């Protein structure tokens, strides 16, 4: 079996000393220039997609405790998303950063996949809070 060009090149590099590596680099420089010229150049890099964080990750991202983050979500004062009340909360890094800078849009504080299932004000999950229950006796 005859060795391939890649096998020969790897053997040359493995056996080369400092001066020999410099000569190999000089020999391959024109080839690398031709490869670089053919490579398409990106005109502008796309911004990275927002990263979704769990409650624990979001608390670490903001530098606060998990209970403090729970209080912010219960008060609906921080941007988060969840499928329905009582489900796991998800946070986007760009929303958290905007909130931290004070640029969060008030209408984007709570986003739900089904807005018709939102509970009346004063509810958290499926159980009314004490303040709501006092204002609305059965």
Same domain for 107 and 57: yes
Alpha-carbon distance of 76 to 83, in angstroms, equals 15
Alpha-carbon distance of 76 to 106, in angstroms, equals 10
β-partners of residue 80 are 110
Using CB atoms within 10 A of its CB, is residue 35 exposed (0-12), middle (13-18) or buried (19+)?
A: exposed
Domain assignment present for residue 94? The answer is yes
Alpha-carbon distance of 82 to 78, in angstroms, equals 13
**Structural domain range at position 33:** 7-38
Structure confidence by residue, pLDDT tens digits, 7-41: 777 777 777 777 777 887 788 788 878 877 887 77
Three-state DSSP class for residue 32: helix
Same domain for 29 and 58: no
pTM of the shown model: 0.43
Alpha-carbon distance of 131 to 76, in angstroms, equals 16
β-partners of residue 123 are 128
What is the length of the chain?
A: 138
Structure confidence by residue, pLDDT tens digits, 61-97: 999 999 999 999 999 999 999 888 888 999 999 899 9
**Residue 120 — pLDDT band, cuts 50, 70, 90?**
very low
Query: What total of structural domains would you count in the chain?
Result: 2
Domain assignment present for residue 1? The answer is no
Query: Residue 91's closest CA among 120, 107, 70?
Result: 70
Alpha-carbon distance of 21 to 51, in angstroms, equals 43
């Amino acid at each position: 079996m005859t060795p391939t060009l890649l096998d020969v090149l790897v053997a040359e590099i493995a056996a080369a000393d400092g001066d020999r590596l410099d000569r190999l680099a000089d020999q391959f420089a024109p080839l690398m220039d031709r490869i670089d010229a053919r490579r398409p150049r990106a005109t502008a890099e796309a911004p990275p997609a927002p990263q979704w964080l769990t409650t624990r990750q979001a608390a670490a991202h903001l530098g606060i405790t998990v209970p403090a983050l729970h209080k912010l979500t219960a008060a609906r004062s921080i941007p988060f998303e969840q499928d329905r009340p009582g489900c796991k909360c998800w946070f986007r890094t760009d929303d958290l950063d905007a909130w931290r800078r004070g640029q969060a849009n008030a209408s984007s504080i709570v986003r739900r996949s089904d807005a018709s299932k939102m509970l009346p004000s004063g509810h958290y999950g499926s159980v009314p809070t004490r303040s709501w229950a006092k204002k609305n006796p059965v």
